[in-house]
Amino acid sequence: MINSTSTDSKVTLFRGGLLRLLLVSGLLWLASGCSYFMSDLTKVDMRIVTGGDVNPDDTGRPSPVVVRVIELKSPSGFESSDFFALYQSEAQTLGSDMVASEEFEFKPGDVQDLKFALNPDSNYVAILAAYRHLDKVNWRMVLPLKTKEKNELTVLLNRRGIELATPR
């Protein structure tokens, strides 16, 4: 009987401790979940879809395209600069307007999801694509973003250049 009481008290202590642990864990999970939804960050969930006809060479054969995703404070320097100034000396051309930049290469038919939070100093995301025939395509785009919200965008890379798909 004594043995049974000590086992019962151990079970009661275990259940009480487990209940407290679950309660505290649940409260911490809720608190962290709320902070995710109430974040001051601007989030970007961007799908890049590369068409089978992207960046055709002189014979019409599709080719890979190099793309830069650039975070900006202001888009004016990006919008007014020529391709080669941006591509060859991005930091000097954009100066303090550029916050961050990352380069990717996409092959015809590629689909890639990019998920990131903007740097607090960034207000815009720009895309620069190194197409073979720059005079025939839209090789740059500044994406429309809602600040302090999650932005879901689909960017198309095809023979006409960069296009923004209808919102998903």
Residue 46 has pLDDT above 60, yes or no: yes
Contact 70, 151 (CB under 8 A): no
pLDDT in tens, 58-72: 999 999 999 999 999
Residue 3 has pLDDT above 50, yes or no: no
Q: Where are the domains of the chain?
A: 1-38, 43-164
Judge residue 6's burial from the number of C-beta atoms within 10 Å of its C-beta, 0-12 exposed, 13-18 middle, 19 or more buried.
Answer: exposed
- Give pLDDT, residue 143: 95
- Give pLDDT, residue 2: 45
Please name which of 34, 102, 98, 92 lies closest in space to residue 67, comparing C-alpha atoms.
102
The domain defined by 43-164 folds into Immunoglobulin-like (2.60.40)
